[in-house]
Amino acid sequence: MVAAICYAWLLENRMKADKERGERDRSSFELIVLVMNTRREKMWKQRQAAWLFDHVGFDATALFFSNEVDLETLMMAKKLSMLVVGEDILITNSEVGSTCTILTDNYYEETYDLLQTPIVKNL
């Protein structure tokens, strides 16, 4: 969950920077939306994540969960592109590590300044 939150934040910041540099069409509309691959009511079983979110002041009620977004309809209408953290973006060279460690290793150079934000730093 933490790796997905941080990756979505990275994409959002990368998209803003690209627009500011004129590398993206300002007339196109793109939105990064993080959807957790679990149902909201199962979040109570994720006690470690719930504790961490509370500890760092992250409002977990702001997250979307898989039972709240009609991904299938969006995909069929070709209004969605989806990346799955752990399958699509975290390429390892047979390394072993947490998804957060791999995410940081893969994007550290690009994201050093982003990692200095207090909530992300704590996550």
**53, exposed or middle or buried, with CB in 10 Å at 0-12, 13-18, 19+?**
buried
Interval 64-113: pLDDT, tens: 998 899 988 988 998 888 877 765 555 556 665 666 666 666 666 666 67
In a domain, 121, yes or no: no
- Structural domain count, the chain: 1
With 70 as the cut, is the pLDDT of residue 36 above it?
A: yes
In a domain, 47, yes or no: yes
**Cβ atoms of 2 and 115 closer than 8 Å:** no
In a domain, 122, yes or no: no
Structural domain of 57: 2-116
Alpha-carbon gap, residue 123 to 111, rounded angstroms: 14
Provide the pLDDT for residue 31.
Answer: 81
In a domain, 74, yes or no: yes
Q: Which of 42, 41, 38, 31 is nearest to 74 (CA)?
A: 31
In a domain, 40, yes or no: yes
In a domain, 11, yes or no: yes
In a domain, 123, yes or no: no
Provide the pLDDT for residue 68.
Answer: 92
**Bigger pLDDT: 66 vs 28:** 66
In a domain, 99, yes or no: yes
Mean predicted confidence (pLDDT) in 42-68: 85
Place of tokens 């109570």: 44
